[in-house]
Amino acid sequence: MKVLQILPAVILWGVVVVRLVGMRFGWKPGILPAVSLVAAGATLNIDQVYLAIDGLLGERNLLNLLVHLLMGMGMTELSRLLLRATGRASKHWKAVMSAVLVLVAAQVVLLLMSDTQGSATNFTDAFAHVPTVAWYQATFFAWVGLITGYTGIECTRRNRCGESKGFRIGFDIVSAACLTGVSAVTAKMALIVLEVFGAGGDYKQALYLGYRALIAITIVGFAVGFILPSYGRVRRGLCARRNRARDLGTLRPLVLRLVDTEEGRRAVEAAKVSLDDRNSRMQLYRWFILVSDIRVLHPELLSCHEHQLVDEIGKRIEQPGTAQPTATVRV
């Protein structure tokens, strides 16, 4: 049971770390806030963490509501970003959000109306005798089911033309995870009904374990699905950085030699090119343009080998995925 709780949280925080690393390459926050919310909710839902923190809050299980809100809001935001990235955002989203707001308000009211004294990790089982708790749980899982079901269907129906391999595989995994989430919600709803009517004693524990496993698969699927496109972007960024450093290293001695000539000094002064040793795309472009201009006007200043090196660098700059970033859908 601990593995089913800890593993999703660890993987989700892994996604957060990958996104933070990606921001060093100029990524926008994208899914980072949403994944952070889900990761925080998954962490607080670990039994030992939950009992320790809820105890500090008076053992009223208010932390359960916080977990619901963190995970629900995170998944809702992820859904919105997914649909926008896949081009499946539609007028139905407003209706979905209206239903979500109603469910959120209902959860808050129902929990505040319920007597839930005493921290409990298996909330439904511990407070099955409280009618409002059953409705409280049902509203949250209706929220999750609505978001995962809608997102899974829309992602499955998306137009895959132009998607990179990592993006396509990642979002197919997310689609499958969404549908697994619907199965988890169905299992949880069945558990709620069994608890209310005091039935299912023989197989209720097995159903609960199945629900936990499905939830874990859903969260892990979301995480893996988002990691794949992010990993591809990090790998391309590192590759571009290595290529850029290599090309700058090739151009540096050539640039330093050319600036010792009268033609080179005039070109540097006219273009205001910096000779600082920094690994940046702009520095590479400026040095390449400087050398290209000089060799057009004074080709005799470069050897045949140097002409060849400059041509090779020019080809790499023009090739997507090397010196320039590959165009991709960003989430």
Q: What is the pLDDT of residues 53-103, one digit of tens each?
A: 999 999 999 999 999 999 999 999 988 988 887 777 677 888 899 999 999
pLDDT value at residue 271: 65
Query: Which residues share a beta bridge with 324?
Result: 320
Q: What is the pLDDT of residues 181-208, one digit of tens each?
A: 999 999 999 988 888 887 777 778 888 8
pLDDT value at residue 323: 40
pLDDT value at residue 327: 33
| CA atoms of 31 and 74, how far apart (whole Å) | 9
Task: State the helix-helix crossing angle for 304-318 and 281-297, rounded to 10 degrees.
Answer: 140
Q: Which fold has domain 2-237?
A: Rhopdopsin 7-helix transmembrane proteins (1.20.1070)
Report, as an integer, the average pLDDT of 118-142.
87
Tokens of 293: 């201009």
Q: What is the pLDDT of residues 254-291, one digit of tens each?
A: 888 877 787 777 777 666 677 777 777 888 888 888 88
Own/partner contacts of 264-273, CB < 8 Å, gap of 24 or more, are 264/294, 264/301, 267/293, 267/294
Q: What is the pLDDT of residues 216-236, one digit of tens each?
A: 898 888 888 877 877 777 777
Percent of the chain with pLDDT over 90: 29
Report, as an integer, the average pLDDT of 20-43.
87
**Residue 320 phi, psi dihedral angles, 5° rounding:** -60, 145
Which pLDDT band holds residue 1 (cuts at 50, 70, 90)? low
pLDDT value at residue 324: 38
Rg, Å, the chain Cα set? 28
Tokens of 289: 């343009």
Number of H-type helices and E-type strands within the chain: 12, 0
Domain parsing of the chain, residue ranges: 2-237, 239-318
Closest CA to 34 of 194, 222, 176: 222
> Whole-prediction pTM value?
0.73
Name the DSSP class of 155.
H
